[in-house]
Chain A
């Protein structure tokens, strides 16, 4: 197990190097850079621009720039400076990352909090009207794109005024006490989390149902029933535990996918997370911020997949990686 983890972690290194190289090359291929945009501002002199160009090494060929970037990241953990925000990239991204994590965490709670009970109900009452209704709803639900769900909820928020129409905090956030601040963020969080959380709900629910149905067919469940155990005990104590195994893996994979999944929702709801920051950075050609954001998002995806594989090994003694 330990060797496996070590190997997987080591494999991540060339992967991240490759991603950073590709992103860097792509950004170099893009026409113009942030300083070109600055140069259009008459208030900034050409000399200032040239000075900045030299300071950030933007006058050198791209492979030297990449080398400098890599050196700074590896030896000083310095991800560079955001041109547009005048802040170290690391600071900008860690703020954004925490916000994305809050959104993704809340969304995961919604997804799994509903998916598992609904899936269990659908499986236990297979072919009942509950099951049929849930199946039908799930079938249609799968086709709702996040972008539409987000816009429809935003519209309802704007029409009813029950929820804020974007952002993460109210204007008077700083004047609120601790509880007030918490509730304020929660209020802002509700709709974006609902969108990110409800979209994968349908497929998770179907997977939970399928998984439990598979287990309920097994002999040991029949044995448990034959022993005269109540159906409740058979389901919760015997069947459900094994049925949850595949769900645990899925949970790991969705951890990574949540970062990607919240991208468009963050933009529509002006949630100051990683997706929002990345889009702004790309539009402003804020080179190092883009680099950092893509690397961070990829890292989350890779770690999520690793956790998924490990969770499976922990939850299921039949699987071992050695």
Chain B
């Protein structure tokens, strides 16, 4: 698996600032401190904004995409990305961009040639296939499109003549949520098990930590693939999706549980825990309300930095053909289309489009996570294993 940002305290050392005693007027609320710190790292803010845009696009995917993910055009395999033109064949300029219809000139090598006389003006809010936005609002309006029977392939088409933009958008619904859902499950598990192990100690600690150690001793990709073998390959895509999330979460909790256990262990003897116990609170309440909230800044940072690992987990599984299955799109199985030497040399957009999306997402999470680390925890913590 890839390196998921530095889980080390040596990197990105913000140099200690000398605080002038006279400057400190009033104590600031944690929220204010957080925002003042965040504003100092423009990269983190940029990462956060980029992610906001990506997730918004994923939510609105059916509307933004000109076609649905399954629509094929059997006469337009491996159509290269179309260029937007503003200047017409007769030389005049118009604000509305258009794309050129292309003809297949060589069936063997899938060579297309633009036909300058066939202009397809790009239209906005056009009628197309019936869709449901957010799974609720039924509509036939799409953000953009061209007049049928023309087709718009702004980022090209794939081996089935499907629009890559549409598949990228639909695929993001899977690829971008795998990380968040997976993290939600594995971090709940990790917090709970790590908290129990650290707080109670004894046999619970032994059992949980030995199990975590076991999971951490198998190289993660080997374990992921072995777990994947348990389920049949040809399940409905919803079940495959849940299966992938379950596998990644099952592996992901161990690293976190180990760190949380350490944090809880060091907190157990502290005064505020003793005070809470003296007040007669139940042990579970002490864990949940007093101990675990103190690990939150660590958890938020570790979660942000772990999400790329989950996203890449889906990408790798689908790339290997054992993840999300066709015709459902995911960034991983889009990448799978670029696996052959032929595709790599002749249809590079099949690699670069999903590749860029994956790269930007991973980078945005890493930038955001690093910024959060600096902003949330001045003492700083080291990251967990994805």
A-side residues, CB < 8 A to B, are: 14-15, 18-19, 22-23, 26-27, 29-31, 139-140, 142-148, 151-152, 154-155, 158-159, 165, 199-200, 202-203, 206-207, 209-211, 213-214, 246, 256-257, 259-261, 263-264, 267-268, 275, 278-279, 282-283, 285, 290, 293-294, 297-298, 300-302
Known: A26-B230, A263-B221, A285-B229. A154 touches B344 (CB 8 A): yes
Residue of chain B at shortest CB distance from A260? B219
Could you tell me which residues of chain B, from 207 to 227, have a CB within 8 Å of some CB in chain A?
Answer: 210, 213-214, 217-223, 225-227
Interface SS majority for chain A: helix
A148 and B345 contacting across the interface, CB-CB below 8 Å: no
| Chain B: interface size category | 35 or more
Residue of chain B at shortest CB distance from A11? B213
B219 and A143 contacting across the interface, CB-CB below 8 Å: no
Bits for B1-12, please: 1 = Cβ < 8 Å to A, else 0. Answer: 111011010111
B226 and A207 contacting across the interface, CB-CB below 8 Å: no
For B3, B10, B229, the residue with the greatest tally of chain A CB atoms inside 10 Å of its CB is: B3
A151 to B223 Cα, complex, angstroms: 23
B366 and A151 contacting across the interface, CB-CB below 8 Å: no
Could you tell me which residues of chain B, from 340 to 373, have a CB within 8 Å of some CB in chain A?
Answer: 341, 344-345, 348, 351, 355, 358-359, 362-363, 366-367
Choose one: B3, B8, B220, B351; the contact of A152 (CB below 8 Å).
Answer: B351
A sample of 11 inter-chain contacts (CB < 8 A) reads: A19-B217, A27-B226, A147-B315, A147-B316, A151-B344, A199-B3, A210-B11, A214-B10, A282-B225, A297-B219, A302-B217
A146 and B10 contacting across the interface, CB-CB below 8 Å: no
CB distance from A12 to the nearest CB of B (A): 9
A302 to B215 Cα, complex, angstroms: 12
B-side residues, CB < 8 A to A, are: 1-3, 5-6, 8, 10-13, 43, 210, 213-214, 217-223, 225-232, 308, 312, 315-316, 319-320, 322, 335, 338-339, 341, 344-345, 348, 351, 355, 358-359, 362-363, 366-367
A15 to B214 Cα, complex, angstroms: 6
B335 and A147 contacting across the interface, CB-CB below 8 Å: yes
B3 and A142 contacting across the interface, CB-CB below 8 Å: yes
A301 and B217 contacting across the interface, CB-CB below 8 Å: yes
B341 and A158 contacting across the interface, CB-CB below 8 Å: yes
A278 and B225 contacting across the interface, CB-CB below 8 Å: yes
A297 and B222 contacting across the interface, CB-CB below 8 Å: yes
> Known contacts A145-B308, A159-B344; can you find 5 more A-B pairs with CB under 8 A?
A145-B359, A148-B358, A155-B351, A210-B8, A294-B222
For B5, B220, B229, B351, the residue with the greatest tally of chain A CB atoms inside 10 Å of its CB is: B229
Known: A145-B359, A147-B315. A29 touches B217 (CB 8 A): no
B355 and A152 contacting across the interface, CB-CB below 8 Å: yes
CB distance from B232 to the nearest CB of A (A): 5
B6 CB contacts on chain A under 8 angstroms: 142, 203, 206-207
B231 CB contacts on chain A under 8 angstroms: 30
B5 CB contacts on chain A under 8 angstroms: 142-143
A213 CB contacts on chain B under 8 angstroms: 13
Interface SS majority for chain B: helix
B320 and A151 contacting across the interface, CB-CB below 8 Å: no
A300 CB contacts on chain B under 8 angstroms: 219
A145 to B5 Cα, complex, angstroms: 11
B10 and A210 contacting across the interface, CB-CB below 8 Å: yes
A152 to B358 Cα, complex, angstroms: 14
B320 and A203 contacting across the interface, CB-CB below 8 Å: no
B345 CB contacts on chain A under 8 angstroms: 155, 158-159
A118 to B165 Cα, complex, angstroms: 40
A294 to B338 Cα, complex, angstroms: 28
B341 CB contacts on chain A under 8 angstroms: 154, 158, 165
A245 to B308 Cα, complex, angstroms: 30
A15 and B219 contacting across the interface, CB-CB below 8 Å: no
The 7 closest A-B pairs by CB, nearest first: A210-B10, A260-B219, A143-B363, A155-B344, A145-B2, A263-B221, A206-B11
Residue of chain A at shortest CB distance from B315? A147
For A207, A264, A285, A300, the residue with the greatest tally of chain B CB atoms inside 10 Å of its CB is: A264
A268 CB contacts on chain B under 8 angstroms: 339
A267 to B320 Cα, complex, angstroms: 9
For B1, B222, B339, the residue with the greatest tally of chain A CB atoms inside 10 Å of its CB is: B222
B214 and A264 contacting across the interface, CB-CB below 8 Å: no
Residue of chain B at shortest CB distance from A149? B2
A283 CB contacts on chain B under 8 angstroms: 322
CB distance from B2 to the nearest CB of A (A): 4
Residue of chain B at shortest CB distance from A205? B11
Residue of chain A at shortest CB distance from B12? A206
Residue of chain A at shortest CB distance from B365? A143
A151 to B322 Cα, complex, angstroms: 19
A144 and B359 contacting across the interface, CB-CB below 8 Å: yes
Known: A147-B316, A154-B344. A293 touches B222 (CB 8 A): yes
A233 to B320 Cα, complex, angstroms: 52
